[in-house]
Chain A
Amino acid sequence: MGFFTLNKNTWLSIVLAVATLLIVVRVIPASVDPVLKLVISKNRTSIAHLHQPRVIETTKEVMVDVLNIAEHNRFKHPQLGEIGYGNDFFVDIEAPFTVKQTGRYRFIVASDDGFSLAINNRTICEFTGSRPLNKETCHIDLGEGTHKFKLAYYQGYGNAGLTVQYAKTGSNKTYWVGEDSPFINF
């Protein structure tokens, strides 16, 4: 009975239990819904242009839930942390998506440095050089059914980041690419 009264021993047990819990939470790797596969390739040489010849040193694949990877001016996901290679790497993303309502859609891409966005293998917008985080808005008409999302991105030197959102024309609400909505499913 004395074991469970709230005496100084119990308090210490509580402190130790809370500390243990916090540590366990901290050491469990973060995970998110695996919606989009990012193929991240470290280049051997400096990158100054998206379409320059690639000299790949190593490649890794990372699954993310949404394309919101620009925390603190780094290629950093809010839950997964920094997932790139620091400097000089390419990222390629290919994912099918299903349009539920025919109409005109806009994709808002913010990148530091360059990117190229293609839907159904047709490039709808791109910025292929180096720059600080900046937005481009790209429009496309999409019919109901399955389509292909394809994005290439590169980080050269310094700050980094990539975010891609979408919205249906006429709707004010934007969604992250990777996030399901009344209009599109990933």
Chain B
Amino acid sequence: MLATIKKYQHHLYPAALLLASLLSYCTLYGLPNSLFWDENYHIASAQKHLDGVMYMEPHPPLGKMLLALGEAIVNPNADLDKSAFNSTDYITGNQVPEGFSFAGFRLMSVLLMAFSVLFLYGLLHRITRHAFLSAAFTTFIIFDNALVVHSRAAMLEGIQLFFILAAIYYFVRVVTSGQKILLRQYALLGVLIGLAIAVKVNGAILLLLMVMLFAVDQWGNLRRGQWLSIAKRLLVTVPSGSLPVALVFFGIFYLHIGMGTEIVNNRTYKASAEYLNLINSGDTFSFAAFRSGMKDHWRYMVEYADGVPRLDVCKPGENGSHVSNWPLGGKAISYRWSKDTYDGVVKTNYTYLVGNPVVWLSALAGIILSAGLIISRVVYGQPVKDTRLFWWITAFTALYACYMIAMLQIDRVMYLYHYLVPLVFAIINLALVFNYIYRDDLIANSRHTLINLGALVILVIAVFAYFSPLTYSIPITAEQFEMRDWFSIWRMEVVR
């Protein structure tokens, strides 16, 4: 028995993490059996892919294509008439047929997010070479209430985080291989970044990975100031990395435009006459259709973004929040609630976007610590005890900071779930900061350090469980809800 465990011990952690992740993300993911938040938009769009209906949307199409793929695989609504979804961009509850199941449309978001824990474990393990530490911090995304509740829906972030973590894993794998970086590795990283951008354009933050990869690739030349060699390498690496990004992004749009062969209810989205003619003539996979369709889709995305209102904190029921509130979890969003009486007691099922405060505050503490470390090195010239780890910490802190700075430039209203991407960067950073601080103890397998780490994981799981009624729509009373309203910055609203 022990021999068997020893033989497969390298697989035990990822296997256990995957099992925990599948349980956390997939359990009864078809519930609540109602639309919530952006599902009203995304399911309408995904159904159009299934029926070959042309549509335009503010986000690129890959996420909706995958939602549609889930519905096609599970096909739980085969006997239902979903045609109403094709004549609108926003489904109301009345348009959802009786007996409708969400198990299909939510499948890919749930599954991809659940499997993405393997990438997180893998990348942490490649950097730290410490299985227990990697597993411990991987639990942070398995047991974060905000990540779980948002990914258990037909929405885009769960799918995008899969590609984001895949891209980071691949980047880490290439950098830690210790071998010369090849052009095809730039290309493959470009493909993964392209997939993340093809779900939501905020995935473009990963283009920084390409810059970092080049810096690692040319570190020697950069230090020696051999600018000619650097320029020569740039000439080949820029197209190697950026062309796949563009090919994937526009390739997905090519498929999307090609699959939109029908216009329903005269919904043309102000498409050009040329594009409409090509749709009507069934020529949607032609280059001409792609050229004019791409131009029209792009225009639609820009116009839509311009039309989104700004944040108005004075507006009653405003769900948006300022970027500065996000690291502390503000503002939590009530996605859906329904009230009923159970044994004479009024209870409410909430589906609420609220983070696990242990995860979010620890991640923020990690960012503060790493900022201190970087400032002490760069400004005060303090020595670093582990140069390699220092650069990894700098890389993930930079990703976090750049994303947040980019968000600060956006005028339109933004929501707490836009923080899920930098939260993942911050969780990775936290694991690395922990490794930096306790490096010697971890190498020595210090019992005290491992117990501390274990206690932190137990705390994360316990707090996740405490907030789980808001994640899994478990009925609670108003008093029980208020006990979970920990911070005023969350601005949670009880239903009475």
Contacts and interface: CB of A to CB of B under 8 A. Distances in A.
Contacts of B341: 58
A97 B495 CA distance: 35
A27 B483 contact: yes
A20 B486 contact: no
Interface of B: 341, 344-346, 358, 437-438, 441, 446-449, 451-452, 455-456, 459, 462-463, 466, 478-479, 482-483, 486, 494, 496
Contact of A9 (B438, B459, B478): B438
19 contacts: A9-B441, A9-B446, A9-B449, A10-B448, A12-B452, A13-B448, A13-B455, A16-B455, A19-B459, A20-B455, A26-B486, A27-B466, A27-B483, A29-B479, A42-B346, A58-B346, A83-B479, A85-B496, A86-B496
Contacts of B451: 13
Interface string A85-123: 111000000000000000000000000000000000000
Given A8-B437, A9-B446, A84-B496, A58 B344 contact: yes
Nearest to B357: A23
Contacts of A13: 448, 451-452, 455
Interface string A46-60: 000000000000101
A14 to B, nearest CB: 10
Contacts of A87: 496
Contacts of A60: 345
A158 interface: no
Interface in A1-40: 3, 8-10, 12-13, 16, 19-20, 23, 26-27, 29
Nearest to A13: B452
Given A26-B486, A82-B482, A9 B452 contact: yes
A145 interface: no
Given A9-B438, A58-B346, A82 B478 contact: yes
Contact of A23 (B446, B448, B463, B496): B463
A13 B459 CA distance: 12
A81 interface: yes
Contact of B438 (A3, A8, A42, A81): A8
A82 B466 contact: no
B437 to A, nearest CB: 6
Given A16-B452, A16-B459, 17 more contacts: A8-B437, A9-B438, A9-B446, A10-B448, A13-B451, A13-B452, A13-B455, A23-B462, A23-B463, A26-B486, A60-B345, A82-B478, A82-B482, A83-B479, A85-B478, A86-B494, A87-B496
